[in-house]
Amino acid sequence: MKAIVRNRFGGPEVLHIVERPRPALQPGCVLIRVRAFGLNRAELYMRRGLWGEVAEISGIECVGSVVSDATGILREGQTVVALMGGMGRTIDGSYAEYVVVPATNVVAVDTALDWAELATLPEAYAVAWTCLHRNLEVQPGQRLVVRGGTSSLGLAAIDIGAQLGATVIATTRRPDCEAMLRSRGAADVVTSAGELCAARGWPGGKADVVLDLIGNSTLLDSLRATRRGSRVCLAGFLGGLTPIAAFDPLGQMPSGVQLSFFGSFMFGTPDFPLSDVPMQNIVELATSGCYQSRPSRIFSLAEVPIAHELMERNEAAGKFVVVI
């Protein structure tokens, strides 16, 4: 099979397309013929070596068809989505024509979406759905801030938040993306990277819920932008992995605000079964157009290094997808 392999840690130039043996089915796993996969910023960090030793073949999600299922549950040829379960980290990931994934991290779906559109959904929409429904418990009429709105996860959160009846405020460092964010359902767009409540475009008052995808560099400001009884969920690191220096909850967290974190690497564990995410319903909402989940650009497998380079230059407004 063809696969994109990292021969060392470094920039996009370390990624090469090579021939590898098709992986063997393992107990408790599903062998999937990969039809398409979404690209994620996490894979940039893996490629650079910032997350320690990881698999040579990256990729944390994919869509495709079942070749064989060791558990006997899924039938050959069935359409599935797969995410996490160690892909690209402890086991070879989805940057290949075939991948073996733990059955706990594979979900069958019935869909008429093409492979590219389907590939926009697994990671971004599963994470956004979990953050908004579980961590933040977003309610109709609430003011929801999505920090990092032009990322694929941010756009998924805007889709889901608007569908829930929240008033969505999206942030971006790109003024040229304001119209796109409004078309996706954002009522207000903040185009400053500075203090949220003092930024151009901020509608006044404070937020009820904040999904912070920028990370540690903006978290304290996100907390300050919320009212008593609000919730803040940290679920991304677009601003880098540098920790908050000398974080002091006693002096830096506002009273009465709840702070939580969600990492998608927990999907498939007993505490976070993937069955908790209504993936079939997400697919149907995307099919109907309620979720505007079209890829921003489609690449071939051989073009993965080009896609990585564009992502590092922050030129991916939305989801980059690779179709095999």
> Domain of 159: which CATH number?
3.40.50.720
Over the chain, what is the mean pLDDT?
A: 96
* CATH code for the domain in which residue 283 is found: 3.90.180.10
Lowest model confidence (mean pLDDT) among 3-17, 219-233, 238-252: 238-252
Q: How far apart are CA 184 and CA 162, in angstroms?
A: 8
Looking at residue 259, the DSSP 8-state letter turns out to be E
Please report the pLDDT score of residue 300 as a whole number: 98
- Per-residue confidence (pLDDT) for residue 317, from 0 to 100: 87
Instruction: Read off the pLDDT of residues 40-97 as tens digits, 9 standing for 90 and up.
Output: 999 999 999 999 999 999 999 999 999 999 999 999 999 999 999 999 999 999 999 9
**pLDDT at residue 290, rounded to an integer:** 95
pLDDT at 241: 87
**In whole angstroms, what is the distance from residue 148 CA to residue 64 CA?**
29
- 129 lies in the same domain as 235: yes
In a shared domain, residues 249 and 285: no
- 138/254 same-domain check: yes
Regarding whether 280 and 231 lie in a shared domain, the answer is no
Kindly state whether residues 25 and 89 are assigned to the same domain: yes
Does one domain contain both 131 and 215? yes
The verdict on 135 and 205 lying in the same domain is yes
pLDDT per position as a tens digit, 193-232: 789 999 989 999 999 999 999 999 999 999 999 999 999 9
At 144-156, the pLDDT tens digits run 999 999 999 999 9
Instruction: Give residue 97's domain range.
Output: 2-120+266-323
Alpha carbon 135 to chain centroid distance?
16
From residue 35, give the alpha-carbon distance in Å to each of 70, 82, 117, 135, 285.
Answer: 20, 12, 11, 32, 21
Q: What is the mean pLDDT of residues 271-295?
A: 97
Report the alpha-carbon distance of residue 156 to residue 176 in Å, rounded.
19
Same domain for 272 and 227? no
Listed residues 262, 281, 308: the one ending a domain: 262
How would DSSP label each residue in 127-192? HHHHIIIIIS---TT-EEEEETTTSHHHHHHHHHHHHTT-EEEEE-S-GGGHHHHHHHTEEEEE--
> Can you give the pTM of this predicted structure?
0.97
If one counts the domains in the chain, the total is 2
